[in-house]
Chains A and B, each alone.
Chain A
Amino acid sequence: MDFKDSPEQAEFRAEVQAWLKANAKPKTKDTVRGSQENRYKEAKAWYKKVFDAGYACIAWPKEYGGAGLSQIHKVIWSQEVEKYDEPDGYFVIGQGNCGPAMMHFATEQQKTELLPRMASAEDVWCQLFSEPSAGSDVAGLRTKAQLQGDKWIINGQKIWTSGAQHSDYGVILCRTDPDVSKYRGMTMFFIDMKQPGVDVQPITQMDGGSHFNEVFFNNAEIPDSQRLGDVGGGWGAALLVLMNERLAISGIQPDGFPELLKLVQSLDIDGEPARNNPLVRERLAHWYCQHAGLKASTNRMLTAVAKGGIPGAEAALGKLVGAVMNQDIANYVLQLLGDTGAISDESLAEQHAHFQNTVMFAPGIRLAGGTDEVMRNIIAEQVLGLPQEPRADKGIAFKDIPSGNQG
């Protein structure tokens, strides 16, 4: 057991450190988030710079735009880049989810043509799974793909699509056969998002922001050559994408603890340092145990992956614990601040209103990528091996299953 780099890893780390020092923006005390449009442009520029230096998609093969190195090299990169103020996780959905799907199912020509452009963020990709009637029950999706000649005609609606407004391509899961049971009637494709039949509409969230979109398909077209996997094999393909998503987001998800610790170090309550308050100390201890546990769990998972293991459903644990903690910590800080806690003016509130913003955004993080209950089901069924709930939709043709809001 050790946290040391091998000589070769240490050399790589030193090389990365030197490059970042010369090319990345240092973290400053007063970093204020710019507008969404600006952040997108900054991210595009950053990814291009990283790609040109050969550090994009480190664990991908070189012929597809990666660096041809291992997952551990990727981790070393993440650990180092985290020390800088750069949007290195901005296109994680494309590279983390769509990338592996393409790698696994696309033709050689599609891979050599499209993956390097994804790695450099010249092309932006999104993932189109969720629908208004298919959230936790994502296999209940209805967006139709019908074969006409060598083209599939797409009609329906996707929702909660991050980055759809910027996307050139999307990996989409469609219903290709409503007459068979629901898990058997789906097929995966990649679709050109910049075509007339695709209409992207931003969703205004409860916090006023709009990170997600609705995407409407009205006779949009996908050539059969852009099918990923077999007709009817979409569910298996989707599971592969979701498994990679867990690896991609592990260790990236914020749990709110560093911000809490920073606040407690400086805040006074009624003239007394918050750090001396026994109630505050009790909460600090509780959340630090979870924070340290998540960090160490990520290191255990990465060690397993480095030894050739597959990212396990265990990663659901990090999502479940981190997301709840993030919300609860933000709420707790507001309670500590009392009356002034409700002031969300970024020029007045602590840490540019980080806690106020988090209280309003955190409910969405708990839902994105699966609700708390879905995470618990994943742990119970896939890790502990407990039986599934009996399902009311088993053995019924998809078209005969009631779904969505019926009232």
Chain B
Amino acid sequence: MNFDFSEDQKFIQEQARNFLSAECTTARVRKTLEGEQDYDQALWAQIVELGWPATAISEDQGGLGLGYLELCVIAEEMGRALAPVPFIASVYLATEAIKLAAGKAQQDAWLPQLAVGEWIGCLASVEQAGAFNPEALKCSVTDGKLTGTKTAVLHGAIADKAIVVATEGGKPGLYLVELSQAAVSRKALKCLDPTQPLAELVFDQADAEKLAGDIDAIAAISKIYDRAAVLLSFEQIGGCDAALNMAKEYTSARYAFGRQVASFQAIKHKLADMFVAKELARSNAYYGAWALSVNADELPLSAATARVSAIDAYYQCSKENIQAHGGMGFTWEFDCHLYYRRAQALSLTLGGSPYWKELLVERLLNANAA
């Protein structure tokens, strides 16, 4: 047994951390937060230059031919740095959708482009409140033309192409849609975390190319969600780490009643509880990473477990970090709300905690059926 990342993987992580701590400071994240830009284009260009979007794309399809474990360690650093770029939308969602559901020719054409950031992709699945529901799909395709509305599309306002879930003749399918065409109108939506922005996409007879792979669309969506759940859980534990560190540094440097705030047991126990939630989430994320890396039968259950655990942990770490800062934690000036916003954004994208708890239990009971 070797339940840890390899030295090479840790080296990749360290490089990513060094790069992001230098380039992606919270001051820079705030430029996106405060609306100066829709996403950090310069940072995205650097990330593409470093080859991160190509990490889990095979070499013969223009990628680096590394694997999911390498992508997981990068994800942790993206989460720690609150990177305001479309990495989740384009890399975990669009790229994985194409890897899973596109035909061979489509993959050969598109994956090399995604690997070098020639275009940015996103995934458009949700149409209403609650998680994605294949039973209630209204978007439909007739004769290669897509009509309908998708909402809460992560980075939908700036992406070049979207993977859209729609029905054709009553049967769900996945379609690649060029977002610059006149038959697509899109609207950026005001949302809790502008560094992970959401959009509404309206399709009116838009050209749509069906992903031609030999997989049922609903099964594909479920797999895309599971893979992304593991990757997101690493972004979340990166965020947990950052929030806990902030709380630790602030309470250690601040004095009240003549002593360090961090020397009071009430504060120490609050931080210990943050640590416990974070470490349980980290361990669950590691198990999910292992299952993802070898495509194990355990992936669906471990992905749901990693996701629920990471949602709870990031909520706890980010909300208690605000409390540990006292009144200053509630100001715009302090960074506490950046993590709190990101915790909300990451927990809601791909369906919230109740949705994943239900998946977890279904899978747990099936795995242990009497």
The reply to whether B364 and A321 form a contact with Cβ atoms under 8 Å apart is no
Q: Which positions 41-68 of chain B face chain A at CB distance < 8 Å? A: none
List residues of chain A with CB within 8 A of the CB of B290. 1-3
The reply to whether A265 and B368 form a contact with Cβ atoms under 8 Å apart is yes
The CA-CA distance from A299 to B357 in the complex, in Å, is 24
Q: Which positions 371-386 of chain A face chain B at CB distance < 8 Å? A: 373, 375-377, 379-381, 383-386
Q: B209 in the interface, Cβ–Cβ < 8 Å? A: no
CB distance from B367 to the nearest CB of A (A): 10
CB distance from A73 to the nearest CB of B (A): 11
Q: A317 in the interface, Cβ–Cβ < 8 Å? A: yes
List residues of chain B with CB within 8 A of the CB of A379. 272, 275-276
- Which single residue of chain A is at the shortest CB-CB distance from B264? A389
Q: Which positions 106-131 of chain A face chain B at CB distance < 8 Å? A: none
Which of A1, A296, A380 contacts B272, CB < 8 Å? A380
Size bracket of the A interface: 35 or more
The CA-CA distance from A304 to B286 in the complex, in Å, is 14
The reply to whether B1 and A302 form a contact with Cβ atoms under 8 Å apart is yes
Given contacts A297-B280, A297-B283, contact A1 B248 (CB under 8 A): no
Which of A275, A292, A376 contacts B287, CB < 8 Å? A292
Question: Residues of B within 8 Å of A, CB-based: how many?
Answer: 51
Q: A402 in the interface, Cβ–Cβ < 8 Å? A: no
Q: B332 in the interface, Cβ–Cβ < 8 Å? A: no
The reply to whether A380 and B284 form a contact with Cβ atoms under 8 Å apart is no
List residues of chain B with CB within 8 A of the CB of A390. 259, 263
List residues of chain A with CB within 8 A of the CB of B129. none
0/1 per residue, B349-370, Cβ < 8 Å to A? 0000010011011001100111
Q: B202 in the interface, Cβ–Cβ < 8 Å? A: no
Given contacts A265-B370, A275-B365, A379-B275, contact A386 B312 (CB under 8 A): no
Which of A285, A295, A376 contacts B361, CB < 8 Å? A285
List residues of chain B with CB within 8 A of the CB of A297. 279-280, 283
List residues of chain A with CB within 8 A of the CB of B358. 281, 285
Q: B113 in the interface, Cβ–Cβ < 8 Å? A: no
List residues of chain B with CB within 8 A of the CB of A72. 1
The CA-CA distance from A289 to B3 in the complex, in Å, is 18
The reply to whether B262 and A386 form a contact with Cβ atoms under 8 Å apart is yes
CB distance from B287 to the nearest CB of A (A): 5
Q: A288 in the interface, Cβ–Cβ < 8 Å? A: yes
List residues of chain B with CB within 8 A of the CB of A285. 308, 357-358, 360-361, 364
List residues of chain A with CB within 8 A of the CB of B276. 317, 320-321, 379
Q: A7 in the interface, Cβ–Cβ < 8 Å? A: no
Which of A265, A282, A296, A376 contacts B3, CB < 8 Å? A296
What DSSP secondary structure best describes chain A's contact surface? helix
0/1 per residue, B257-281, Cβ < 8 Å to A? 0011011110111011101100111
The reply to whether A373 and B265 form a contact with Cβ atoms under 8 Å apart is yes
List residues of chain A with CB within 8 A of the CB of B5. 1
Q: A406 in the interface, Cβ–Cβ < 8 Å? A: no
The reply to whether A388 and B361 form a contact with Cβ atoms under 8 Å apart is no
The reply to whether A389 and B272 form a contact with Cβ atoms under 8 Å apart is no
CB distance from A241 to the nearest CB of B (A): 23
The reply to whether A290 and B280 form a contact with Cβ atoms under 8 Å apart is yes
List residues of chain A with CB within 8 A of the CB of B361. 281, 284-285, 288
Q: A225 in the interface, Cβ–Cβ < 8 Å? A: no
Given contacts A1-B293, A303-B4, A380-B268, contact A386 B263 (CB under 8 A): yes
Q: A88 in the interface, Cβ–Cβ < 8 Å? A: no
Between A72, A293, A376, the greatest number of chain B beta carbons within 10 A of the residue's beta carbon is seen for A293
Between B2, B248, B281, the greatest number of chain A beta carbons within 10 A of the residue's beta carbon is seen for B2
CB distance from B195 to the nearest CB of A (A): 27
Q: A4 in the interface, Cβ–Cβ < 8 Å? A: yes
List residues of chain A with CB within 8 A of the CB of B286. 1, 296, 300
Q: B128 in the interface, Cβ–Cβ < 8 Å? A: no
The reply to whether A1 and B69 form a contact with Cβ atoms under 8 Å apart is yes
Q: A208 in the interface, Cβ–Cβ < 8 Å? A: no
The CA-CA distance from A300 to B290 in the complex, in Å, is 12
Given contacts A2-B1, A261-B364, A281-B358, contact A389 B283 (CB under 8 A): no
CB distance from B68 to the nearest CB of A (A): 10
The reply to whether B368 and A377 form a contact with Cβ atoms under 8 Å apart is no
0/1 per residue, A300-320, Cβ < 8 Å to B? 101110110000001001001
The reply to whether A389 and B263 form a contact with Cβ atoms under 8 Å apart is yes
CB distance from A281 to the nearest CB of B (A): 4
The CA-CA distance from A370 to B252 in the complex, in Å, is 25
CB distance from A262 to the nearest CB of B (A): 9
- Which single residue of chain A is at the shortest CB-CB distance from B285? A296
CB distance from B308 to the nearest CB of A (A): 5
List residues of chain A with CB within 8 A of the CB of B360. 285, 288-289
Given contacts A380-B272, A386-B252, contact A296 B287 (CB under 8 A): yes
The reply to whether B1 and A5 form a contact with Cβ atoms under 8 Å apart is yes
Q: A50 in the interface, Cβ–Cβ < 8 Å? A: no
CB distance from B307 to the nearest CB of A (A): 9
The CA-CA distance from A66 to B69 in the complex, in Å, is 38
List residues of chain B with CB within 8 A of the CB of A317. 275-276, 279-280
The CA-CA distance from A377 to B265 in the complex, in Å, is 7
The CA-CA distance from A379 to B260 in the complex, in Å, is 17
Which of B252, B312, B364 contacts A387, CB < 8 Å? B252
The reply to whether A304 and B4 form a contact with Cβ atoms under 8 Å apart is yes
List residues of chain B with CB within 8 A of the CB of A2. 1-2, 290, 294
List residues of chain A with CB within 8 A of the CB of B259. 390
The reply to whether B283 and A386 form a contact with Cβ atoms under 8 Å apart is no
List residues of chain A with CB within 8 A of the CB of B252. 386-387
Q: Which positions 284-337 of chain B face chain A at CB distance < 8 Å? A: 284, 286-287, 289-290, 293-294, 302, 305, 308-309, 312
- Which single residue of chain B is at the shortest CB-CB distance from A381? B268
CB distance from A255 to the nearest CB of B (A): 12
0/1 per residue, A244-278, Cβ < 8 Å to B? 00000000000000000100011000000001000
Residues of chain B touching chain A, judged by Cβ–Cβ distance below 8 Å, are 1-6, 69, 244, 248, 251-252, 259-260, 262-265, 267-269, 271-273, 275-276, 279-281, 283-284, 286-287, 289-290, 293-294, 302, 305, 308-309, 312, 354, 357-358, 360-361, 364-365, 368-370
The 9 closest A-B pairs by CB, nearest first: A293-B280, A296-B283, A380-B268, A285-B357, A376-B272, A379-B272, A299-B3, A297-B283, A387-B263
- List 8 A–B pairs whose Cβ atoms lie within 8 Å, in order of A's numbering: A1-B286, A293-B281, A294-B283, A303-B1, A317-B280, A376-B273, A384-B244, A384-B271
Residues of chain A touching chain B, judged by Cβ–Cβ distance below 8 Å, are 1-5, 72, 75, 261, 265-266, 275, 281-282, 284-286, 288-290, 292-297, 299-300, 302-304, 306-307, 314, 317, 320-321, 373, 375-377, 379-381, 383-390
